[in-house]
Structure 1
């Protein structure tokens, strides 16, 4: 589904929610209390500023007795087989975020991946799939990165663990090109990337990726991911803890200048190895 038509369906979701809510005689606050969110959330759903999670859509159907219409709309919008089920909503939120802060301990984040790197990562996790499957996954990943080219692009802060720089994903030459791509985005001031060195030792997010997203008219969310699952969290107390963890990670990382030098040096090391093999 194209992004324009997807947004149109979310707007329909909001318009229909407002109509059904008013027909049932509920205010935003009254409906919110019954589906365990805030009144502001209901308003954001109705204005298509924020997209509800599937369980919230199901509770709305139950309270308003709408025969599953909001669950069906929600499933239609998040059912993009190019993304894992737990990641589909994160992709939607990326498109409206004003700031994205990410910690990547093992793999270059999807928004920064080159085509060759994305193909290698996809094949490593799915060695028996077709070329068409790989092409679909890689295309979806590269399409996500278009948000960094928009005039209204979000601030994008990334902390890479030094592990990420050393593993030659896709091969030495391909890894050099991947690191060159990151360095170019840094020099263009499109992204803000720092590197956590080995000397930092233990760090605040030892179990997997961490991502924070801020929005203009909605509360922030946190997202954590391991190899086979992910969790999107919007509980204010949990998000606050995740923000503190990210602050600790940022303090442990190298300066931007030192990080750029390290990334460029790692790229040269991969290139030199590629030329001798």
Structure 2
């Protein structure tokens, strides 16, 4: 199934299994001498059980550990690259190409009519969404999915983050997801993201009326070679389209949204006002 998440170890050959095997090999074949799980846990400031779990391909992999492993074993980014592959694999197959493009993008423009985009979600907000969408999921499954989503935000903190333009419908800030505390934290996070020099957050007010992109969410991703692709998503489908005519039409529609939406400063004020009502 496309949206299956494992509670036990993953299939042989999966990115998570490769990560675990690479970590075990690095420990046991270390030039300076074999490193025990306990010793590695101490160097990485984590627990022995976490090291054991990672080596046995049991998710999740804490997002800060791959860089530490590369430092400890002087592996020149191998664990970070394996971790990136693992993150992509954590998403349903229909979303994986989007994740790969997103990780390489130099610019991302996104319209969301119903929810805070995944790149700006807080963990409690993401958990509330996953719980609502999968009422029978275990806590472990919810945690794994939420951590995979939040890990996407690492690209916003790297040395050269992509230019990010986000337009959300006013409904996104009015709709209570997870309760007042969760929404207050999420709105505060939106405000914080909006202060970044590379990020613009705008709210499209209800008074705007109809527009071309009312049917669903859309992203435009620009890769380092200048290629632009359009990503559209609905409940059970996701489509990536690089047809030049489609890209031009969707880019034009997005330009109309940014021109119609409240400016960033006014958008931030609307978000603050909504926070005060919670």
After TM superposition, give the deviation of residue 266 of structure 1 in Å.
1.0
* Equivalent in 243, 246, 251 of residue 251 of structure 2: 243
**Structure 1 residue aligned with 2:208:** 200
**Structure 2 residue aligned with 1:121:** 129
After TM superposition, give the deviation of residue 82 of structure 1 in Å.
2.7
Matches within 5 A, 1:109-258: 109-258=117-266
How far apart are the structure 2 equivalents of 1:227 and 1:147? 25
TM-score by length of 1: 0.68
SS of the residue 1:152 aligns to: coil
Q: 1:78·1:85 contact (CA, 8 Å) conserved in 2? A: no
**Structure 2 residue aligned with 1:13:** none
Matched, 1:92 2:100: yes
After TM superposition, give the deviation of residue 264 of structure 1 in Å.
1.2
How far apart are the structure 2 equivalents of 1:190 and 1:248? 20
**Structure 2 residue aligned with 1:269:** 277
Q: For residues 119 and 215 of structure 1, do their structure 2 counterparts lie closer, same or farther at Cα, with a shift above 3 Å needed?
A: same
After TM superposition, give the deviation of residue 80 of structure 1 in Å.
5.0
SS of the residue 1:160 aligns to: strand
TM-score by length of 2: 0.68
How far apart are the structure 2 equivalents of 1:80 and 1:104? 22
Q: Any unmatched runs of 5+ in structure 2? A: 1-14, 20-84
1:19-73 CA deviation, whole Å, 9 max, x = no partner? xxxxxxxxxxxxxxxxxxxxxxxxxxxxxxxxxxxxxxxxxxxxxxxxxxxxxxx
How far apart are the structure 2 equivalents of 1:231 and 1:79? 20
**Structure 2 residue aligned with 1:47:** none
How far apart are the structure 2 equivalents of 1:245 and 1:255? 17
Q: For residues 204 and 165 of structure 1, do their structure 2 counterparts lie closer, same or farther at Cα, with a shift above 3 Å needed?
A: same
Q: 1:78·1:89 contact (CA, 8 Å) conserved in 2? A: no
Q: Any unmatched runs of 5+ in structure 1? A: 6-76, 271-277
1:144-179 CA deviation, whole Å, 9 max, x = no partner? 011001111000000010000011101111101100
Q: For residues 254 and 143 of structure 1, do their structure 2 counterparts lie closer, same or farther at Cα, with a shift above 3 Å needed?
A: same
